Chains A and B, each alone.
Chain A
Amino acid sequence: MIAPATRELIVNGLWRQNPGLAQLLGLCPLLAISNSVVNSLSLGLATTLVMMVASASVAVVRNLIPHEIRIPTFVLIIAAAVTVVDLSMNAYVHPLYLVLGVFIPLITTNCIVLARVEAFASKRSTAASVLDAAMMGLGLTLVLVVLGAVREIFGKGTLFSGLDLALGPAARDWVVTVVPDYQGFLLAVLPPGAFLGLGLIIALKNWIEAIRQARRGTPAPVIQPAA
């Protein structure tokens, strides 16, 4: 049996307050790199890892950080975590590292990382902070993967191409050619496709919420993006 507080954290991260669908934070990498499943999955997992390390570190020392300089301190901690992830990816998954390029160091500036540290980890216990960071990160990864899959299918007619970059040679045969002889639809691969795709996924979430609310007999709440 999961405790209600834990359950709340999981539901918030994966669905209700999903960073990609409800908070609309961390959209820069979401839109820039999500043109295939492998890119989305690896950047999403890297971001999740950074969020967990950063949240854990901040939660441990949260009572030692002076309030006035907390933001620079948080950013330093996040940057340190990103450097670790950046160097590890360069060492262990080098081809993937070359593909993702500048977007790995840029995780430092991803506002979802700082937002969770500031809003959650600097006020709550270490265990809760790590769980929150993991769930928020996985929620973002989930959106990234769905968006990456949609853009890859429409843009190139394949699914899971290049997954061996992230998961090793065993995944080389996992490529699914959804539409054979596909001519390609560049718009889906280019940035406008990311905006359109994300907009449609957010609309889908709001629609599902509206249906669930209607079933319960209460009016659907208007979902506002976080300021």
Chain B
Amino acid sequence: MPTSPHIVLADNSVRAVMFKVLAALVPGVVVHAWMFGPAIWVSLLLTTLFCLVIEALVLAMRDLPLKPFLSDGSVLVTAWLLALSLPTLLPWWLYALGSLFAVLVAKHLYGGLGQNVFNPAMVGYAVLIVSFPAHMNLWPAPVGVAGHTPNLMEALDLVFAGQGAVSPDAYTAATPMDQLRAQVRTGLSAEAVAAASFGLHAKEALVLSYALGGLLLLAHRVITWHVPVAFLGALVATATLLHLIDPGRHADPLFHLLTGSTVLGAFFILTDPVSASTTPLGKLIYAGLAGVITVLIRSFGAYPDGVAFAVLLMNAAVPFIDAYTQPRVFGHSRGRRT
């Protein structure tokens, strides 16, 4: 029986936190399946399976107990975030490779859970986008926009047997961001493209479901407000500035909010308790700069989305940020850091 009234008994174990994150991802997954067809179940199942198997093998190699590490849910969070960041209907070995780099290279080579400098799911994503741009640019279009949305059996066939009866042209389309990039290059105004972008309504529903999950995490105090507010705020501010300078070349802030993995990143990826900054001021700097970098990569870079690279860059800066943003301990002077 706790005698101190100010001590709140919250279950802060890794297991509890990770399963809350998974629960908060469920709305997003369901909406994804509803808007983009059942292919997400295949990719989600594959990354989960690969991540669990690789984790088990590495744990065995490191002579660590399997059960506590496999059942704490952290591997599942990595696997789900990886699946939600990648296009569905990739060949199965790309999901295996992404899982391998996420779990083995990004997590265990750095020392395992709690030691990884970089967000494992984003390392897996970055390796794939850098190495296989042709595959990674085939995003299945939303239901209704695509000529044909593969059902579950066709999805399995595409993932395991490659291009079979259904040609990729039937179910994929350029994402709004790719389209904007292509159109700006050929001289059309970004406004016209953004207005005409098909399938944004599907993205809107998906973004809202991610935001709903994020609010659940906030309500359960799994994450604090700092990271999402700073990231989205800085992203909107940078996008607005660029849009005001040259509306013909840069998309409006709403476009940046709705496309790519902006909202997923704000609530689920940047908030990773291991690789994010841990001090309140540090979180604001870390997430704010990530927002700025995201817009800069999207506007001036060669890759379709900038969230993953922004997260990885800021992950690398976290030890530095944390060292300079230590809050004052009560009773200690505001002296210089020694």
Partners in one complex: yes
Residues of A at the B interface (CB closer than 8 Å) are 183, 185-188, 190, 192, 196
Report chain A residues within 8 Å CB of B205.
none
**Interface residues, chain B, with chain A CB atoms under 8 Å away:** 105, 127, 130-133
Set of chain B residues within 8 Å of A183, measured between Cβ atoms: 132
Chain A nearest CB: distance from B286 CB in Å?
22
Q: Are the C-beta atoms of A186 and B105 separated by less than 8 Å? A: no
Q: Which of A185, A186, A187, A188 has the most CB of B within 10 A?
A: A187
Cβ distance A12 to chain B, nearest Cβ, rounded Å: 29
**Cα distance, A145 to B133, chains bound together (Å):** 28
Report the separation of the CA atoms of residues A192 and B133 in the bound assembly, to the nearest whole angstrom.
Answer: 16
- B133: A residues at CB distance < 8 A: 186
Between A and B, 10 residue pairs with Cβ closer than 8 Å are: A185-B131, A186-B131, A186-B132, A187-B127, A187-B130, A187-B131, A188-B131, A190-B130, A192-B130, A196-B105
Closest B residue to A188 using CB positions: B131
Q: Which of chain A's residues have a CB closer than 8 A to the CB of B127?
A: 187
Within the assembled complex, what's the spacing in Å between the Cα atoms of A188 and B133? 14
The CA-CA distance from A186 to B105 in the complex, in Å, is: 17
Task: Please give, as numbers and ranges, the residues of chain B lying within 8 Å of A187 by CB-CB distance.
Answer: 127, 130-131
Chain B neighbourhood of A186, CB < 8 A: 130-133
Most buried by A among B105, B131, B133: B131
Nearest chain B residue, comparing its CB with the CB of A184: B131
B130: A residues at CB distance < 8 A:
186-187, 190, 192
Known pairs A183-B132, A186-B133, A192-B130; list 10 more (Cβ under 8 Å).
Answer: A185-B131, A186-B130, A186-B131, A186-B132, A187-B127, A187-B130, A187-B131, A188-B131, A190-B130, A196-B105
In the complex, which residues of chain B have a beta carbon less than 8 angstroms from the beta carbon of A192?
A: 130
Q: What residue in chain A is nearest B91 (Cβ atoms)? A: A183
Complex CA–CA separation, A20 to B127 (angstroms) = 25
Q: Which residue of B lies closest to A193 (CB)?
A: B131
Residue of B nearest to A186 (CB): B131
> Could you tell me the distance between the alpha carbons of A185 and B133 in the complex, rounded to whole angstroms?
11
A213 CA / B45 CA spacing, docked (Å): 44
CB distance from A184 to the nearest CB of B (A): 8
The residues of B that contact A185 with a CB separation of less than 8 Å are 131
Q: Which B residues are in CB contact (< 8 Å) with A196?
A: 105
CB nearest to A187 among chain B residues: B131
The CA-CA distance from A183 to B131 in the complex, in Å, is: 10
